[in-house]
Amino acid sequence: MTTSAAIKEPVLVLGGAGFIGSSIVRALVAQGLRPRVLTRPSRSIANLRDILDRIELIHGDFMDDTVLRVAMKGVHTVYHLITTTFPNMVIESSNYDLLSNLLPTIRMLEIARESGACRIVYASSGGTIYGEPQQLPIPESHPLAPKSAYGQSKLTIENYLSFYGRTTPLEVSILRLSNPYGPQQNPFGNQGLIAVAMGCLLDGRPLKVFGEGTAVRDYIFIDDVVDALLRASVAAPDVLNISYGEGRSVMQVLEAVERVSGRKLNRVQLPDRRGDVSVNVLDNARARSRLGWAPSCGFEDGVARTWAAFRAA
């Protein structure tokens, strides 16, 4: 992070043991801060094992108001990175999504307001919130028409965040991320094509490929995501796309993984998934202008760095 503005403490990272969360926690620790981390008791803290003495760890459920009040006490800045559902979850999961994502977020906003928190930085989903693109790359002004329950949930949460930003002293920044990837991403997850492909190579598992592999996504390296999130916490409240700004098909991504690793994937083709958009490439010009930010890691370099980290783990 190169901005001269300092992040004010205390800082709370909701979902700080996950892929993006642990990466932000590490960046905060590197700046000399002691971030507070809220994560579920069942969530592995392997991503934070070597810095546990430099963070304040709170185990608890996002749906527990009592835990949220403890975690939020005295906090200035909150990074909200928790999500309990995935883009490919079907519409029948909407009730669980409501109970585990939307309602706890509204309660978190109320508790944040009551406790005197100043800034909320939310990681939304630029890959699902816009739906099928009417133009490429997709700007923040594009119509919002999600095809999946996951995207609809993200949009609804955004609306509540914006409402609190308009009607309370809370300053709210919403970052619509494209497809983050990098070291420490879950190789057994329901999302994260690059990490899952690399996990399959290392374990000898077959990789499930949905459809013809022609779906195009915008992949951004985790360090660039973290840089944007940190900058957003000290910049004027805004809604911004955070992306690399270039699209690659599933097959192009898998070919890059094979080139970098020198290994061949065993691919199993499955039908297309309901709710997936065909193309998603985000316009990041606004983030460049408003945050003084730009992605610095090229795609091939990012894949190589990710593979090296996976092999060393």
For the annotated catalytic residues, the residue numbers are 150
C-alpha span between 20 and 182 (Å, rounded): 9
- Give the residue from 140, 174, 143, 169 showing the smallest Cα distance to 157: 174
C-alpha span between 260 and 177 (Å, rounded): 25
- Give the residue from 79, 82, 58, 80 showing the smallest Cα distance to 69: 58
The DSSP output letter for 297 is S
Report whether 118 contacts 76 (CB < 8 A): yes
The amino acid at residue 152 is Q
Q: Which two tokens stand for residue 139?
A: 């700007």
Q: Which two tokens stand for residue 271?
A: 């039908």
Alpha-carbon torsion, ordered 222, 227, 230, 232, to 10 deg = -110
The DSSP-derived string for 122-176 is: EEEETTTSS-S-SSSSBPTTS----SSHHHHHHHHHHHHHHHHHHHSS-EEEEEE
The DSSP-derived string for 10-50 is: PEEEETTTSHHHHHHHHHHHHTT---EEEE-TTS--GGGGG
